[in-house]
C-alpha cells in the first residue's frame, strides 16, 4: 500500500496530528473496501455483518433494535432498516416481547449463524492478511487507538 503521501499524492501535511487523522480515515476506507469484497458474495454489507455478529454474541438471548444500535460500530447506521433487510433475507427474526407488547425482540436465525460460520475463515484470513504487524505491534496499536479515543 505504501505511504499515505504516495497514496493520496500529497507531499506534506500541516502537522503530524493532521496526518494521523487523514491516515486513520484513509485506512478505514481501505479496510471497508477490502471487507466489502469478502461480504459481497454473501449479499451482506459491513453494517449487516456487524448486526449479525452482535446478535450471535447474544447467545440466543433476544435483544432490541435500540440495543443493537448502541453496539453498532458505525453509529450513523440505521439499525431498524438493517434489521428489516436481514429479516427479509431470513437471517434474523423479529418477535413480540412476551412481557412488553410495545417492544420487539430480535434474534439471529440458524441461517444467520450458518452464514457467520462460513464467513469466519474468510474474515480471519482477511485480518491476518491486512494487518501487516507483529502480534506485539498489534497489541500496542490497539492500546494506542483506545488511548486516542480516550
CA dihedral over 79, 84, 86, 92, signed as positive or negative: positive
For residue 137, the model assigns a pLDDT of: 96
pLDDT in tens, 89-134: 999 999 887 777 777 899 999 999 999 999 999 999 999 988 989 9
Q: Rounded mean pLDDT of 63-73?
A: 92
Give 4's pLDDT tier (boundaries 50, 70, 90). confident
Q: Model-level pTM?
A: 0.86
On whether the CB atoms of residues 99 and 23 are closer than 8 A, the answer is: no
On whether the CB atoms of residues 72 and 50 are closer than 8 A, the answer is: yes
Percent with pLDDT over 70 in the chain: 99
Alpha helices (H) along the chain: 4-8, 16-39, 46-57, 65-71, 79-88, 110-130, 135-149
Q: What is the CATH number of domain 44-121?
A: 1.10.10.10
Amino acid at each position: 500500500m505504501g505511504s499515505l503521501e504516495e497514496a493520496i499524492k500529497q507531499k506534506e501535511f500541516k502537522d503530524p496530528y493532521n496526518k494521523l487523522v487523514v491516515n486513520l480515515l484513509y485506512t478505514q476506507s481501505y479496510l471497508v473496501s477490502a471487507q466489502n469484497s469478502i461480504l459481497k458474495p454473501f449479499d451482506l454489507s459491513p453494517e449487516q455483518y456487524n448486526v449479525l455478529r452482535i446478535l450471535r454474541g447474544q447467545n440466543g438471548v433476544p435483544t432490541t433494535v435500540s440495543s443493537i444500535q448502541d453496539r453498532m460500530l458505525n453509529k450513523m447506521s440505521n439499525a431498524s432498516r438493517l434489521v428489516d433487510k436481514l429479516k427479509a433475507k431470513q437471517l434474523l427474526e423479529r418477535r413480540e416481547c412476551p412481557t412488553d407488547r410495545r417492544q420487539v425482540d430480535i434474534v439471529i436465525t440458524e441461517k444467520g449463524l450458518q452464514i457467520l460460520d462460513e464467513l469466519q475463515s474468510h474474515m480471519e484470513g482477511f485480518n491476518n492478511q491486512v494487518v501487516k504487524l507483529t502480534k506485539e505491534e498489534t497489541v500496542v496499536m490497539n492500546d494506542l487507538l483506545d488511548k486516542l479515543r480516550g
